[in-house]
Structures are given as structure tokens and as C-alpha cells.
Structure 1
Amino acid sequence: MKNKEGWDGKLRMEPQAVISNPEALEDSDYSDPDAPPVEEIDADEDLLADEDPNTEEIDMKLCFRQNQITKIDFPPNIAASITELDLYDNLISHIKGLDEFRDLTSLDLSFNKIKHIKNVAHLTKLTDIFFVQNKISRIEGLETLTQLRNLELGANKIREIENLETLTALEELWLGKNKITEMKNLDHLTSLRILSIQSNRLTNLTGLSSLPQLEELYFSHNAVTDLSGLESNTGLRVLDFSNNQVSNLAHLSSLTNLEELWASNNQLSSFEEVERELKDKEKLETVYFEGNPLQTAGPAVYRNKVRLALPRIKQIDATFVRV
């Protein structure tokens, strides 16, 4: 029940906070003499307390993955002690602020917004550098990094392989998902073991003859029609040319060290050719032929025919072969 003013007969009072020491609002140094003593918290454990001060400096890694960092800005005394800096998946658009990181051996700036490789020339101790998924259109600014072992530039906007002549120690080069049309300027990379150039615009394999140490080659999702150009790469263990337009296995006779052959989704149609070109590969254990006429023309007998052609094989596509 309520009266005509809407009152239900109950007495209500609005909650009010009463400040017993209002002077504290005006005086930043105010201290209440009657307040309970402040609890003191022990300092964190010193992880280096038992270390010998005469030992060499400890390598340190600084990792700030998946944040919203827009620029590299660290105190110089911290930067000088860092050997690995990981700023993967941030909002960095310009490479600046690395002047004091002179002992860096690994730098990861993947998944940022970088358009140009700059201001890393002084980082001459770098062995690994990662620029995956940025907006880089040119390979540049790396000439002084002669100790570089691993260079990752996948998922950028690179159209040409260039400016790698001084990187003779490079062992791994990752260039997948760019706009590269030909493999060139690789002659000086005589230590290269792994080359990944998947999802580009290649139509042939010229430019690989000067890579005697090459062990793994990945060029799936291109427009290559034949395998000519691999004859000199006799150290290849892994060859991936899935999702191209290759119609025959010619030019593989010299690759006696092959262990894995990934050839899914091409135009291979002859089991006789599979046997002729691959049966002598004593180290070959894995083959992928799914998506070729070899498989699509007779899926029920496909696996047995591969086993008959290659009796030593241990894996056909994603399935292990029962010996």
C-alpha cells in the first residue's frame, strides 16, 4: 500500500560514508597514529644469491609475446644483458630501439606491422632472426649479419630473393607465402641446408645447382611443371612439391639420399614410373601421392600398387605401412 505521494510507510536512509580523518584527503604525508602497523612483505628470493660473482654473465631471454607493444623501448642496462628478444605478435611498425642490444643472438619480430628491415646492422652476433607475417617487400639491411644461421621471412610481400651474398653461414632460409617468381641470387649460400619457398609463384627450379649442402627443399603450392634443376642437389633428404603441376618423376635419379617425397596433388599417373625412378632409393621411407591420378583413378588399389612398386616403403601418405 502507498499513499498518494508514493510512500509505503517505511523509513529509508541513503547510505553515507563517514570519514573519521578528513585531513588525509588534503595532506599527502598524513599518517594516522592509531592505524594498525603496516605489514612488511619479505623481498623475493634472489635467484643469483648463490652464484659465483666471478662467473661469466648469464644469457637472458626477454619475451613479450601477444601484447600491444608499438615500439621497442627498454632501459639500456637491461638491453645490454639480453641475448634473446621475443616480441612476437605485437603492433610494432618500425625497427627502432635496438641500439643497446649488442649481444643479441636471437630476435623475433614476427606477426607485427614492419614494412622495412632497418637498424639491425649492428647486431652482428645474431644467429636467428624472425620476421614472419609482416609487410616486408624487400630483403635488405642484413648484409653485416654474417653469423646468421636462420632467416625467416615467410608471409610477407617479397617479390625477389636479393642481398644475401654476405650471409655465407646461413643454414635455413624460410620464404614461404610471398610473391617470388624465381629462385635466384642463392649462389653464395653454400651452407644452406633447408630452403622453404612454399606458396609463391615459381614455375621452375633453376638456381639451386650451387647449393651442395641442401637437405630439405619445400616448394609446395607453386606452379612448377617438372623437376629439372635438382640433379646437383644429391644431398636432399626431404623433397616437398605437393600442389604443383608436375606430371612425371624424371630428374630424380641422382637423389640417392631421399628419405621423404611429398608429391600430393600433382599430375602423376604412372606406377611404372614410380617404380623406375624411386625403387633404387634405399633410404626412402615416406611417399605422398594422394590427389594424383595415381590415387584418384583407382583409390581401392592405390596403396597396394605403391607397396608393390616400392616394397621398402614405411609410410604411404598419412598411413604407416604394416611390414
Structure 2
Amino acid sequence: MEDQSSRIPGENNGASEGGNVEENSLSYLDLTSYQLHDLDGIELPPSLIELDLTTNRLSTLDPRIALLAQLKKLSLRQNLFDDAGIEPISRWDSISGLQELVLRDNRLTKIPDASIFKSLLVFDISFNEIPSLNGLSKVSNTLKELYVSKNEVTKIEELDHFHELQILELGSNRLRVMENLQNLTHLQELWLGRNRIRTVNLCGLRCIKKLSLQSNRLTSMLGFQDCVALEELYLSHNGISKMEGLSTLANLHVLDVSSNKLTTINDIENLTRLEDLWLNDNQIASLEGIDSAVAGSREKLTTIYLENNPCVWFL
């Protein structure tokens, strides 16, 4: 609501024209992109529910944040926080009702202690320098979205208690094996692009709707057969030579197998809901049989992308 949100509070403390809106009625404060080194001189109304400090120059936490007892969302994205700078938040019991904590794009080398946040739903520690998921076991089992992309993580671990997790982002790390996912029975989105994974292992998960394994080291598409709820599958930039294991994925809308080593189009006859099919940058020599391959999805299919294949060089 416009009368409850503000940029840096001015002299009127957010008062609207023709009326008095007291500062303690402010629920959302957006201080994005002010290049602030600290929050000196900026009022933090005790009624704040959301505080956005994205893209500043902060390296220490203002202790007044600890007094915002109604705070639900806190974004410290793209600042200069290191482990010591963020550590005080682990003792701020007054804001233990926090539901969303964003520490993306800072200078962290370990997962902060977030154990006091018993209702946490979203935790984002992407774009840091974290080598291990050690510490996630202390994060509340209420978590629904976890983002740890662009770090230096080598092993999937300490996720067993996240029974309500719906989104897991671990792209751009150093993972070699898909493991320890079996308890994430409500997981709907799994993002593992830009790792070093060679084999698909979804540990029996069946509810996933979006899955990305782009830019890994896959040579086979086998392993997705049981993911019958899958709607989007991204496998570009791997070493896959054969389309297979797709016939059970009746709910698939998007299939991206571009930049692989495919020579033919196979196993998509049953994909009647397919809308986008990305096959560019492969080694498909002929369009023969493509009509029958996409016959089942003809009513839904809007995109077939075949650029940079031998079959289109002379068209």
C-alpha cells in the first residue's frame, strides 16, 4: 500500500498530503541502491514488517534492527557483510518471527546461525564464498525456499529435515553427485545448473515440476522417468547423445536439450502437453520422422528450435 511504504523517510516521516501518517504506521521501508555505509540518521519505525537494504555498502548491522519485533522480511542483499558482520543477528530474539532472510551477494564464508528464526520460510545465501552446507541443520524445518547458488559447495547435505521445502537452488557450485534429497518430498523446483554432475539421481522424488541440470557433465537422460509431475526440464550444455526416458513425462511443457550431442529426435511421442522444444546446437542430420515425433503435441507445441544442426544448414 502506497501510504505504508517509503524510500528514505523525509522530513514529513511519510506524512501524506492533507493528513498525518505517523511514522509508527510504516510497514515497508525500501532503502535500495543508496550506497549507504550505515543507517545513521535514518529512522526505523518499530512497526516495520519489511526492511529492504539491497545494494548498499553496509558491513555491520544496525542494532536498532534488533528492536523491530514485527519484522517479517529482511533483505541485506548485495552489501559488504562478512561472517563477523552478520553474526549479531543470531542473538536478536526480538526478531525471531522473521520469515524471509536474504543475505545474497555478500562476503560470507559459512552459513550464518539462523536457528532463532523458528518461522523462516525463505533463506537466500547465494553469491557468497561458502564451501559447505554445514549449518543448515540448525535452520528451521519450516523452510520452503532455499537459495545457495554461486558458492563453492561440494556436497549436498544437512537437508533431511526440510520436509516442507519447495524450491532448492544449488546452481553454480562444485557438486559432483546428486544425493541426500530423499526427504524433500514436497520439492517442486530443483536448480543444479553449472555443476559437475555426471549422473541423474533424484532419490525417488516425484513432485518436482521444474528441474535444471544445465551445464553439467551428463551423458544420459535416464533418471527422470518417475518425475511424472515434471513440467519444465532444462538439460542444455551437457554431453547427451540420445533422447530417452521421457515417455512417462506426460505433463512436460518445456524441454531444453540444446547444446548436446543428439543425432535424432526420439521418445517424445507421448508428451502431449509439450509447448517448447529446444534442440539447437546438436548434431541432428535429418528432419525425417519429426512429424511423427511431435504428432502428440501438435495442438500445444509453439516452438521447435533447431538452429545450428546439420538438418537446417541447407534449408
Aligned position for 2:150: 133
Aligned position for 1:70: 82
Partner letter of residue 240 of structure 2? V
Distance in 1 (alpha carbons) for counterparts of 2:190 and 2:278: 19
Aligned position for 1:293: 310
From 25, 37, 41, the counterpart of 1:47:
25
CA offsets, 1:161-194, max 9 Å, x none?
000110000000000000000101x142111111
Shift of 1:236: 0.9
Aligned position for 1:256: 272
Aligned position for 1:35: none
Shift of 1:78: 4.4
8 Å contact kept, 1:248–1:273 = no
Distance in 1 (alpha carbons) for counterparts of 2:271 and 2:113: 47
Partner letter of residue 220 of structure 1? S
Shift of 1:271: 2.4
8 Å contact kept, 1:187–1:210 = no
From 244, 254, 261, the counterpart of 1:228:
244
Change (3 A) 1:78 1:109: farther
Superposed, which structure 2 residues align to 1:309-320 within 5 Å? none
**Unmatched runs of 5 consecutive residues or more in structure 1:** 1-40, 299-323
SS class of match (2:180): coil
8 Å contact kept, 2:179–2:203 = no
SS class of match (1:272): coil
Aligned position for 1:193: 209
Distance in 2 (alpha carbons) for counterparts of 1:62 and 1:172: 23
SS class of match (1:46): helix
From 166, 183, 189, the counterpart of 1:172:
189
Distance in 1 (alpha carbons) for counterparts of 2:183 and 2:309: 41
Aligned position for 2:72: 60
Superposed, which structure 2 residues align to 1:238-249 within 5 Å? 238-249=254-265
From 86, 92, 97, the counterpart of 1:81:
97
8 Å contact kept, 1:183–1:208 = yes
Shift of 1:48: 5.9
Distance in 2 (alpha carbons) for counterparts of 1:120 and 1:157: 18
Aligned-residue CA RMSD in angstroms? 2.1
SS class of match (1:121): helix
Over the matched positions of the two proteins, sequence identity in percent amounts to 36
- Number of residue-to-residue matches in the alignment: 252
SS class of match (2:228): coil
**Unmatched runs of 5 consecutive residues or more in structure 2:** 1-10, 14-21, 28-46, 48-68
CA offsets, 1:110-137, max 9 Å, x none?
0001111122224111000000100000
Aligned position for 1:8: none
Distance in 1 (alpha carbons) for counterparts of 2:276 and 2:235: 14
Distance in 2 (alpha carbons) for counterparts of 1:175 and 1:183: 11
Aligned position for 1:98: 114
Distance in 2 (alpha carbons) for counterparts of 1:219 and 1:256: 20
Distance in 2 (alpha carbons) for counterparts of 1:261 and 1:42: 55
| TM-score, L = length of structure 1 | 0.74
From 138, 143, 164, the counterpart of 2:160:
143
From 171, 179, 199, the counterpart of 1:154:
171
Shift of 1:155: 0.2
Distance in 2 (alpha carbons) for counterparts of 1:145 and 1:280: 38
8 Å contact kept, 2:242–2:264 = yes
Distance in 2 (alpha carbons) for counterparts of 1:153 and 1:119: 15
